[in-house]
A = this chain, B = another copy of it.
Amino acid sequence: MLTKLLGALIAGLLLASLLAFRQETAPASGVPSYTSDGQLKLPEHYREWVYLTTGIDMSYNPALSSADHSMFDNVFVNPEAYKAFTQTGTWPDKTVLVLEVRGAQSKGSINQKGHYQGSDVMGLEVHVKDEARFPGKWAFFGFDNETSAKMIPQNMDCYTCHSEHGAVDTTFVQFYPTLLETAKKKGTLSAGYQKETSTKPPAK
């Protein structure tokens, strides 16, 4: 009886540790979560996800006048999707990509030149792959608060632009330097992107 109790106790303790450990190490899970009226909840821990890249003042419109100050774009992806991409060269279902826009500052503390990132988040956009939920598998959400956002309608330009020019599965992997190498090795670059780069190699 004592042995049985001891066995059960040890098993219980180990199970509890396992669950506690799992909970402690998985706060950053990227499974997309929605409100009852279909809005996407902002992934709370996206800053602890895997970082893909940063751009500054990027635009596909050369005529667009610059804003009055520079902006950085940081891109993060949920760790599960990142891991799958490194193995397959493409995105699994339930991929969540977060684009965080931050104001750029220039002179501050000892910095005299160039730009660094300020505390203000000026925008948050999320691109979600949820095959059973969205007709085109992917959807965009633009957050104007830190809680939830409505889906951007599928007739908006972002969908066609991503679909036509995204290097992998409607996403701009051509701007994610480490993943671009993976996609090249795995042979997962889209036909559109390959055609674009074969006729006009990317300028430095």
Contact = CB atoms under 8 A, between A and B. Distances in A.
B6 A203 contact: no
Contacts of A204: 69, 103, 105-106, 108, 118
Contacts of A51: 47, 51, 74, 76
A143 interface: no
B62 A117 contact: no
A4 interface: yes
Interface of A: 3-4, 6-8, 10-11, 14-15, 17-18, 21-22, 25-26, 47-48, 50-51, 53-62, 64, 66, 69, 72, 74, 76, 79, 82, 102-119, 161, 165, 167, 172, 174-175, 177-178, 180-181, 193, 196-197, 202-204
Nearest to A172: B109
A116 B53 contact: yes
Contacts of A3: 3-4, 7
Given A3-B3, A57-B113, 7 more contacts: A3-B7, A11-B11, A59-B114, A103-B204, A109-B196, A117-B175, A118-B204
A82 B17 CA distance: 22
Contacts of A102: 177
A74 to B, nearest CB: 7
A62 B110 CA distance: 10
A82 B113 CA distance: 28
A21 B117 CA distance: 36
A10 to B, nearest CB: 4
